[in-house]
Amino acid sequence: MKNIVRVLFILVVILSLSACSEDALKIKYYPTIEEKNTGTLEIYCDEDLKSIAEQQIEIFVLNYPAANVKPIFASEKVIVEKLLNGTARTAILSRNLSKAETDKISQVNAIKCSQHVLAKSALALVSKKGEAKTLTDTELKGLFTNGKTPIIVEGKESNRLKIVTTELGVTNFGNQIFAMNNLDSVLTYLEQNKDAVGLIDYANISDENSPKAKEILSKISVFKVNTNCDSITEIVSANPNDIYTGCYPLVAPINYVLTDLQNKLSGGFLNFLIKPKASRIFLRGGFIPFLLPEREIIIDTSAVKGEKQSKFNK
């Protein structure tokens, strides 16, 4: 009897070990990035971000030919309404959604709504060459409410003043604010009216070495702001560092809203947009990416005998 029990015990152990060995031999398969980035994605994009969105989509599709990203450009108001009623599942906006909005979207879609800042855009406050000065926070806000200083905004159909509302808390604007069709019209007006102030996209002057930016900067001066940043008083302006740190006040986020986890391409496109390649596209477009790419520094040592050119990342 004991021998029978011993044999049965040995058989049970052998079968258990065999089962464990089979499980150990099973390799869990994880799809590659290329396999994830397939299919079709409809993404609603703020029409003010049309140019940079098209650039990013073009490069993404070149890298992942099996991906089909279909942008639908609309106003911020229309996109938010579609997010709230569940007809839009993925979107790129030029502002953050409020908690009430994300809660509502999460309820409608029965899944948590997440939002991710991809980059930052900014407005530059400018004047005729030599006329700009440093403003306090109070003076900056007063420009938009005092009804005295003419303020010229680039783009008649733009939503640029929403940054002033969101970041400075201005809701009642003075009647001295005008919109013009394009940047050239703004520059011409400033040239002829030394007391006027222009509100233009920082992207126009972000690359100071480009011929276009050099021409613009030869005609204007950029205002600075004396503000409180992290409990320290600093003088800031529209430049990459002050925009990135958030110390410059006239800044808006480029925000990726995700509510559809079943469509893997939605997350795949987001993953691409926070990587170095997309960050460089943002930089070239005049935006400051949330994650700055590494800078490649090349040291030419060819003049030194026996040495070759070296390269490293910083």
Residue 191 has pLDDT above 80, yes or no: yes
Give the pLDDT of residue 166: 87
Residue 6 has pLDDT above 70, yes or no: no
For the chain, the structural domain boundaries read 33-119+253-296, 121-250
Amino acid at 226: N
β-strands 134-136, 90-93 pairing: unpaired
Give the HSE-up count for residue 268: Cα atoms under 13 Å, Cβ half-sphere: 24
Is residue 226 within 8 A of residue 134, CB to CB? The reply is yes
Homologous superfamily of the 121-250 domain (CATH): Periplasmic binding protein-like II (3.40.190.10)
Give the pLDDT of residue 295: 63
Give the pLDDT of residue 249: 94
β-strands 288-289, 114-128 pairing: antiparallel
Rounded to 10 degrees, the C-alpha dihedral 261/263/264/268 comes to -90
pLDDT tens-digit series, residues 282-306 = 999 999 999 887 665 566 666 555 5
Give the pLDDT of residue 36: 77
Predicted TM-score (pTM) of this structure: 0.79
Give the pLDDT of residue 299: 65
- Assigned CATH class of 33-119+253-296: alpha beta
Q: What average pLDDT does range 110-130 have in this prediction?
A: 93
**146 against 116, higher pLDDT:** 116
Q: What average pLDDT does range 267-274 have in this prediction?
A: 95
The alpha carbon of 313 is separated from its chain's Cα centroid by a whole number of angstroms, namely: 24
**170 against 12, higher pLDDT:** 170
The SS3 call for residue 216 is: helix
Give the pLDDT of residue 3: 57
The percentage of residues in the chain with a pLDDT greater than 70, rounded to a whole number, is 82
Residues pairing with 288 in the sheet:
120
Give the pLDDT of residue 10: 58
The pLDDT-based confidence of 230 (bands split at 50, 70, 90) is: confident
The percentage of residues in the chain with a pLDDT greater than 90, rounded to a whole number, is 62
Residue 30 has pLDDT above 70, yes or no: no
C-alpha 257/C-alpha 275 separation (Å) is: 17
The SS3 call for residue 229 is: strand
Mean pLDDT of the chain: 86
Same fold flag, 33-119+253-296 and 121-250: yes
